[in-house]
C-alpha cells in the first residue's frame, strides 16, 4: 500500500488515476513512518479531504463507506497518539492467522498448534542441509528463468560479466554517441573488481596533483578522464591479463536494445515496453 501499489499499477491505468493512487500511497507512507512531525500531521488533516474527493471521482459511490472515510481522522489520531507503527495490530493478527491454520484437532487446539510449530521448525532447519538441486523454502526457483535468448559469457573471467540472463524481443541496432559510449564503459570499469586497483591509483594521482580537489571534482574527472587513462595504464601494467586488455581496448559503438532482460530472478523492461503493455 505504501510503496508497491504505485509500482504495480504503473503502466496499467491512466496517468491521472495513477497519480491519485500514488498520492494515497504517499499519504500512508508519511502516516506510518517511524518518526512523524505534528506540523506535517496538521497539513495532512487539510490535504486528506481533497485526496478523498479525488478518489470519489475515480470510483463509483458504492465503493465508499465508513471505512474509506476513516482516513480523514487518521492524521489527527497520529498527532494525538504518536507514531502508528507502535500501535497497530497487523503483526499480531497476521501471526494469529497462521496459528489458526495449524489447527487440526479442534478439541485440542493448543496441542495441535504446538505440534505443528515444532514440525515446521524442524523441517526448516533440516532443509538447510539438502543438496542444491532440492528446492526448499530457502532455495526457490527464480521467478524469471525461462524463455528468451540466453546471453553467452564467452569465457570471460571478469566478475562484472558473470551475471548473464535472457533477452526478450527483437533487437534494435543503433550507434551510440561518444558520451553514451563513454558512460557505458565507465559503468563497466567502476563496477569491475579487477579495475579497483587502477581506480585507486587514478584517485591518488589526482589528489596529489590537485591538493584542494573535492569529491565532486573527483567524480567529474572520473567521468571525463578515467576511461582514456585506464587504456594507457592497463597496457603498461605487466600484471594485466587478456580480459583486462580487451576491456581497456573498448567495444564497438554499435549497440542492440531489447524490450526486456531477465537476470538474477528479476525482469527489467524498457520504458517503451511498459507503455505498450498499457496499450
- The pLDDT tens digits of the residues spanning 44-81 come to 888 888 988 888 888 887 777 777 788 888 888 888 88
Cβ contacts of residue 213 below 8 Å, gap of 6+? 206, 207, 221
Beta bridge partners of 255: 174
Q: Each residue of 240-264: pLDDT tens digit?
A: 888 888 888 888 889 888 888 888 7
Q: Where are the alpha helices (DSSP H) in the chain?
A: 4-9, 15-31, 38-58, 74-81, 90-101, 109-126, 178-190, 196-209, 215-236, 242-249, 271-278
Q: Which three cell numbers stand for residue 155?
A: 569465457
Distances (CA, A) of 45 to 21, 40, 51, 52, 71: 18, 9, 10, 11, 9
What domain range is 123 assigned to? Answer: 104-129
Average pLDDT, the chain: 84
Nearest Cα neighbor of 112 from 104, 120, 101 is 104
Q: Do 267 and 209 reside in the same domain of the chain?
A: no
Q: Could you tell me if 146 and 140 are in contact, meaning their C-beta atoms sit under 8 angstroms apart?
A: no
Residue 142: pLDDT over 70: no
Q: According to the model, what pLDDT value does residue 148 have?
A: 61
Beta bridge partners of 166: 150, 262
Q: According to the model, what pLDDT value does residue 153 have?
A: 67
Q: According to the model, what pLDDT value does residue 175 have?
A: 92
Residue 279: pLDDT over 50: no
Q: Do 201 and 221 reside in the same domain of the chain?
A: yes
The answer as to whether 79 is a domain residue is yes
Q: Do 54 and 165 reside in the same domain of the chain?
A: no
Q: Can you tell me the mean pLDDT for 99-122?
A: 83
Q: Can you tell me the mean pLDDT for 115-136?
A: 85
Q: Do 164 and 272 reside in the same domain of the chain?
A: yes
The answer as to whether 135 is a domain residue is no
Q: Do 55 and 166 reside in the same domain of the chain?
A: no
% of the chain exceeding 90 in pLDDT? 7
Tally of structural domains, the chain: 4
Q: Can you tell me the mean pLDDT for 70-98?
A: 85
Q: Do 265 and 238 reside in the same domain of the chain?
A: no
Model confidence pTM above 0.85: no
Q: Can you tell me the mean pLDDT for 229-237?
A: 88
Q: Which three cell numbers stand for residue 119?
A: 514440525
Amino acid at each position: 500500500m505504501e510503496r508497491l501499489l504505485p509500482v504495480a499499477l504503473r503502466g496499467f491505468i491512466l496517468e491521472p488515476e495513477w497519480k491519485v493512487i500514488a498520492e494515497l500511497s504517499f499519504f500512508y507512507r508519511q502516516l506510518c513512518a517511524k518518526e512523524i512531525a505534528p506540523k506535517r500531521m496538521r497539513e495532512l488533516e487539510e490535504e486528506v479531504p481533497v485526496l478523498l474527493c479525488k478518489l470519489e471521482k475515480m470510483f463509483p459511490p458504492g465503493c465508499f463507506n465508513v471505512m474509506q472515510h476513516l482516513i480523514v481522522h487518521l492524521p489527527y489520531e497520529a498527532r494525538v497518539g504518536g507514531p502508528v507503527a507502535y500501535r497497530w495490530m497487523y503483526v499480531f493478527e497476521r501471526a494469529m492467522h497462521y496459528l489458526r491454520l495449524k489447527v487440526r484437532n479442534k478439541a485440542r487446539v493448543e496441542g495441535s498448534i504446538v505440534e505443528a510449530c515444532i514440525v515446521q521448525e524442524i523441517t526448516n532447519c533440516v532443509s538447510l542441509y539438502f543438496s542444491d538441486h532440492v528446492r526448499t523454502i530457502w532455495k526457490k526457483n527464480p521467478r524469471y528463468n525461462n524463455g528468451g535468448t540466453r546471453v553467452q559469457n564467452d569465457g570471460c573471467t571478469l566478475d562484472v560479466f558473470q551475471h548473464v540472463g535472457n533477452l526478450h524481443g527483437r533487437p534494435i541496432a543503433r550507434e551510440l554517441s561518444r558520451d553514451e559510449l563513454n558512460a557505458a564503459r565507465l559503468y563497466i570499469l567502476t563496477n569491475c573488481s579487477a579495475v579497483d586497483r587502477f581506480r585507486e591509483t587514478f584517485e591518488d594521482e589526482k589528489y596529489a596533483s590537485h591538493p584542494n580537489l573535492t569529491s565532486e571534482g573527483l567524480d567529474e574527472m572520473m567521468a571525463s578522464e578515467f576511461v582514456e587513462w585506464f587504456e594507457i595504464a592497463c597496457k603498461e601494467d605487466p600484471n594485466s591479463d587478456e580480459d583486462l586488455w580487451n576491456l581497456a581496448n573498448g567495444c564497438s559503438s554499435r549497440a542492440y536494445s531489447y524490450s526486456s532482460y531477465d537476470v538474477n530472478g528479476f525482469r527489467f523492461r524498457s520504458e517503451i515496453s511498459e507503455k505498450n503493455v498499457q496499450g
